[in-house]
Chain A
């Protein structure tokens, strides 16, 4: 299986996402090759303005991935995932759109010939890596006081129910538990973080962040594992406006890295805004 990695625009500056993904790729010998000259997926913004442009953006990326011989496109961002997935869904139901897209791509000598599957890196880690390899890498029994709340946000489980239950998924919890991580059950795992509305409407979105953090603390969680740069950013930076005890917001890859015994320096954990040493048992 050749994974074509689509990092997306937010990956590079996301708090230690790149560091931790790269550390896991090294430890588990995962070949994640960046799709050469990838472009932005357009996210919710471009689809809100003009579908034609949004479709050409996704079309270009799919054509590039196919051209370079990849079998699947792997994303690390919910917005990238759903945007590509949405474009593919539209193309499957209206094949004439592909002809339209190709008229544009032709000027760059690109052609969209087939629609590659799009998957999230979580799916790769949870389902593609043989148990043996995990066992080989995991050095010791992890001794940690982390009680992790899995947080999926909106755009991985919805609207296609790709991970089973769209409101109460458990793929991340099951995966983390297999690695010996303590996870907690809570009811905020697929609530909205505010997405890009956080920029103009920070005040309106503050209750959304607060609702998630309070629920996690009430259920005795002391750290949140995210799978999307926007979710991580909104929950991490959004706490600055709230008067509640700080709860660190990590990427799931950082938590996996710690569970494997990888040094926190190699996981970019110092880049979190609410620092990890703030883990405390202070309940609301």
Chain B
């Protein structure tokens, strides 16, 4: 793994260089609802990026635990777009084929992504079924809930899609392009 090359790649993305503004105050880590589950809280992650430890960064679960609540971003005294940087790291990890120790969120997002690429819309039940095939224990506990939802006519079983999903096959060419995150 070429740490230096990946660090430069990160800095070249639109907001990447903003990590250089970080004063290590920890407001982001203290504001994060799930930082206690992360390998490195955001403040530590930024220190690692600056140290050029990119493999450790991309292999960590930190960016995948980010829920996109943007709390860190509105509080950061240096106005670093923390959440946006997490998106860049997720995309970089996918691009480099680096999976974190836990593959749950990448699997969930990828399942979502493929459904939308194919159908143009998401059917939540389909997402649960497809993700559930990879991670049965996460979804089995939801079987009871599914029954309750079904009783209340809240489970969509017919897959949803746009009128002619073939028309959006251009999404697949966009998929192979990848705009470096702006």
Contacts and interface: CB of A to CB of B under 8 A. Distances in A.
Given A53-B113, A56-B171, A197 B65 contact: yes
A130 interface: no
Contact of A204 (B34, B107, B135): B34
Interface majority SS on A: helix, strand, loop or mixed? helix
A48 B174 contact: no
Given A52-B175, A108-B170, A40 B116 contact: yes
Given A100-B179, A167-B74, A49 B110 contact: yes
Interface residues of B, number: 64
Given A9-B121, A200-B105, A49 B170 contact: no
A45 interface: yes
Contacts, number: 175
A200 B108 contact: yes
A154 B69 contact: yes
Interface stretch (B4-12, B17-25, B46-54, B160-168): B160-168
B178 interface: yes
Contacts of B101: none
A97 B179 contact: yes
A271 B69 contact: no
Interface residues of A, number: 61
Interface of A: 9-10, 12-15, 37-40, 42-53, 55-57, 60, 82, 90, 93-94, 97, 100, 104-105, 107-108, 154-155, 158-159, 161, 166-167, 190-192, 194-197, 199-202, 204, 208, 237, 240, 270-271, 273
Given A44-B109, A82-B70, A159-B74, 12 more contacts: A45-B108, A49-B91, A49-B109, A57-B171, A104-B173, A104-B174, A108-B167, A158-B71, A159-B70, A161-B74, A204-B34, A270-B152
